[in-house]
Structure 1
Amino acid sequence: MEKFSFNQLSPDSEIPYHLLLLADETKEAIDQYIFKSDLYLLHNGTENMAVMALCKISDTELEIKNIAVTENYRSKGIGSILINKAKEIARKNHYKTLAVGTSDTGFQQIRFYEKNGFIKSGILKDFFIKNYPFPIYENGLQMRDMVLLTHYLSE
């Protein structure tokens, strides 16, 4: 695997919307969480490979709000590297759980999170109907509910 760097963006850095939009449908949706999230970039020299946004939900819960890998680096284990970095950050900051939500039609994403130690922990009914101004389709199906997944961190 190539040599890469992982670093947190400073609050005054430009927001990499072009990367975040790989995992979220609209800039408006991103703006709902991005200003209260910490942003991390994984890059290979000057090329950005992936982005991750982490948001403190409570003193015990950290949530992955966005995780996106550029097309060139997909299916190479980069997503799992980011998940491991998120777990590391959560443990270091004494969180008990790491949470993530994804569409009920995102079968590949759900499998990915389960493969990385997350378990289904809830459903937000009609999340994508209520929070987006237009219907969104994935895998030929309209996105409706958000599937919540949780990873319980050990000390």
Structure 2
Amino acid sequence: MEKFTLKKMDPDSDIPYQLLLLADETIEAINQYIFDSDIYLLSDAIQDIAVMALYQNSSTELEIKNMAVIGSYRSQGIGSVLIDKTKEIAKENGYTILTVGTSDTGFQQIKFYEKNGFLKKGVRKNFFIENYTVPIYENGLQMRDMVILAHNLSE
């Protein structure tokens, strides 16, 4: 297994939009949360291969606002490693709930989070209709609702 390093970015560092755009549709959408998030980069010996942005919703809830892995590293368990690291970070900082939101058309993402211990918690109706200026499609379907999934860290 290759050697990977995960490090929290310095707040003064350049925002890795190229990686973040793998999981979010626009820079405008990313800018809604990124300046109040902690950004972590996962790197191999050559390049940054994954990113995650974590946002404090409350004193007990940490939200994964963005998590992306570059194409050549997908389907190798990197995402699950990032989820495990996120759970560790959340527990170390006293959070009891870890949440994430994804599109109702993101079938692979929903399955991935459920495989990693998340349960469906709710739906934000028309989120993608109201928050994006143009329709966005995934899996041939227009994205409409955001599915919220949660993981109880005390279990």
TM-score normalised by length of structure 2 = 0.99
Could you give the per-residue CA deviations for residues 38-72 of structure 1, whole angstroms, max 9, x where no partner exists? 00000002311100000000000000000000001
1:1-155 → structure 2 map (5 Å cutoff):
1-154=1-154
Query: Aligned partners of 1:5, 1:46: CA distance in 2, in Å?
Result: 11
Structure 2 SS opposite 1:52: strand
Q: For structure 1, which runs of at least 5 residues remain unmatched after alignment?
A: none
Amino acid at match of 1:23: A
Structure 1 SS opposite 2:154: coil
Shift of 1:146: 0.1
Structure 2 SS opposite 1:89: helix
Query: Aligned partners of 1:96, 1:133: CA distance in 2, in Å?
Result: 35
Amino acid at match of 2:20: L
Structure 2 SS opposite 1:41: strand
Could you give the per-residue CA deviations for residues 9-34 of structure 1, whole angstroms, max 9, x where no partner exists? 00000000000000000000000000
Report the count of equivalent residues.
155
Moved over 4 A (4+): none
Shift of 1:154: 1.7
Query: Aligned partners of 1:151, 1:20: CA distance in 2, in Å?
Result: 22
Query: C-alpha root-mean-square deviation of aligned residues, in Å?
Result: 0.7
Query: Aligned partners of 1:22, 1:84: CA distance in 2, in Å?
Result: 20
Query: Aligned partners of 1:85, 1:132: CA distance in 2, in Å?
Result: 30
Query: Aligned partners of 1:131, 1:2: CA distance in 2, in Å?
Result: 39
Structure 2 SS opposite 1:53: strand
Amino acid at match of 2:36: K
Structure 2 SS opposite 1:76: coil
Could you give the per-residue CA deviations for residues 55-109 of structure 1, whole angstroms, max 9, x where no partner exists? 0000000000000000010000000011011100000001010000000000000
Q: For structure 2, which runs of at least 5 residues remain unmatched after alignment?
A: none
